[in-house]
Structure 1
Amino acid sequence: MRYALYFSPAADHPLTTTASRWLGRDAYTGEAFPTPEVNGLSVEEVHALTADPRRYAFHATLKAPFELADGKTEAELIEAFEEFAATTEAFDIPNVIVGQLGRFFALVPDRVYPELQDYAARIVEDFEPFRAPLSDADITRRKPETLSPQHRDNLMRWGYPHVMGEFRFHMTLSGQVPPEQAPAMRAALEPRFAEFVNRPLSINGIALFVEPARGADFIAHRWLPLKPASEIRKTAP
């Protein structure tokens, strides 16, 4: 069993519905959907290009998948998760767009926002006591010899390369898209997600996902709202 802390909209949020139908699976309900038709790409190509994000489900990684450390229990993890949600203030990413990270398409902020970076870093740190050290096989799979020094240091310290100063918030919508297929992919994604881009995205909840066995689909285990900012202000001294 592996656990992961994600940002995900709530189960009934329109973005969850739209993204689940695009990827072909809803992590909250387990419902599967037919592969969407995309002009210029075959159904088989679209299905293959969405395979990786379909397994991980629609999300933005905050604390990458981990096994529990020795002496830690799921009940303790959930207790910490509940405490974090109850005491952490919700906020907005001011603007998100359909963008690319390398050859991956994703919903991303239009620029780096310090509040978002700090939020993600806090989650990595706060939940680190629950993470078991990576196995040699896990480290090898990350191909540390190909990583930058900072990414390699993050992998060994935090179990994941893309954290702290190297963190970039992204809600993945595809696997690696070959350059010749990228225009068709973008042309399909932009109208499909038009309702959600070029506007703020509320970071108003946090999700605990689980992978029941290595290679299995990730499923939403718990979703909790963050504390509204107005409540924080009202109770502040």
Structure 2
Amino acid sequence: MTGFPRYAIYFAAGADNALSRFGAELLGYDSYTGAEVSFPQDALNVAPDWPDVAADPRKYGFHGTLKAPMALASGRTEAELMAACAAFAGKERPIPVIRPVVDAISGFIAVIPAEPVSELQQLAADSVRDFDAFRPPLTVEDRARRKPEKLTERQRDYLDRWGYPYVMEEFRFHMTLTGRLDADRRGPILEMLRDRFAGLKLERLAIDRIALFKQDDAKTHFRIIGEWTLAQSS
């Protein structure tokens, strides 16, 4: 069984950023403060069961995954992980900039890049590699939970190597807004989310920071315990 506490390296747009508020309202949870947030009325109008629609992503907070949730390997400490985050952020690199859109991906709805961005793929790959020393070996139970029989051969290889199947070439950046939706429900919800997102007038989004999220136990949500701005190469 997965150990606790768990940690994840995510992108979050910043506590005062309009995109963060957009996500927190829709998920009903602010990972910066750890507080519940009232759901917007237009979401409840389209889906009266919106708290259930958003239940899965609410546990993680509004984010874009760079290094998937993990317990700490034996002998590793939270302080060491925070120091590693600071060191990672301090390495100069091109800052990815995406054109964000709201769309369906694998049955759920998320904020995603309108087109692939190579700098973002590289940032995610670097995150997977650089923080892997903090991850404990994959257990038999955790491997089975990923349903390897439903994965491609490459995804199974990545699961065994990196503890998570959707990395490297399989990585797709997304900031999740809903759980999986039946096809007949997806259209009206997608339209509502696109209308709300259009109000942000967000044409470009710099993936210019990392945040360390922590989940204390299975009953609690992930919350942000540290945040670092990425150093930009000249």
Q: TM-score range by the shorter chain?
A: over 0.9
- Tell me the residue number matched to 1:131: 135
1:176 correspondence with 2:180? yes
2:89–2:229 CA contact under 8 A, matched in 1: yes
CA drift of 1:42 comes to 3.8
1:12 correspondence with 2:16? yes
CA drift of 1:83 comes to 0.8
Unaligned runs of 5+ residues in structure 2 are none
CA–CA separation in structure 2 for the residues paired with 1:136 and 1:216: 24
CA–CA separation in structure 2 for the residues paired with 1:57 and 1:206: 14
- Tell me the residue number matched to 2:103: 99
1:29 aligned counterpart, secondary structure: coil
Return the letter of the residue paired with 2:137: P
- Tell me the residue number matched to 2:216: 212
Task: Say how many residue pairs are matched.
Answer: 229
1:8–1:59 CA contact under 8 A, matched in 2: yes
**TM, length-normalised to structure 1:** 0.91
Unaligned runs of 5+ residues in structure 1 are none
Return the letter of the residue paired with 1:178: D
1:70–1:132 CA contact under 8 A, matched in 2: yes
- Tell me the residue number matched to 1:85: 89
2:95–2:208 CA contact under 8 A, matched in 1: yes
- Tell me the residue number matched to 1:41: 46
- Tell me the residue number matched to 2:171: 167
2:210 aligned counterpart, secondary structure: strand
**Share of identical aligned residues, percent?**
40
C-alpha root-mean-square deviation of aligned residues, in Å?
A: 1.6
CA–CA separation in structure 2 for the residues paired with 1:144 and 1:185: 31
- Tell me the residue number matched to 2:196: 192
1:157 aligned counterpart, secondary structure: helix
CA–CA separation in structure 1 for the residues paired with 2:225 and 2:53: 26
CA drift of 1:124 comes to 0.3
- Residues 213 and 188 from structure 1, CA distance in 2 versus in 1: closer, same or farther, beyond 3 angstroms? same
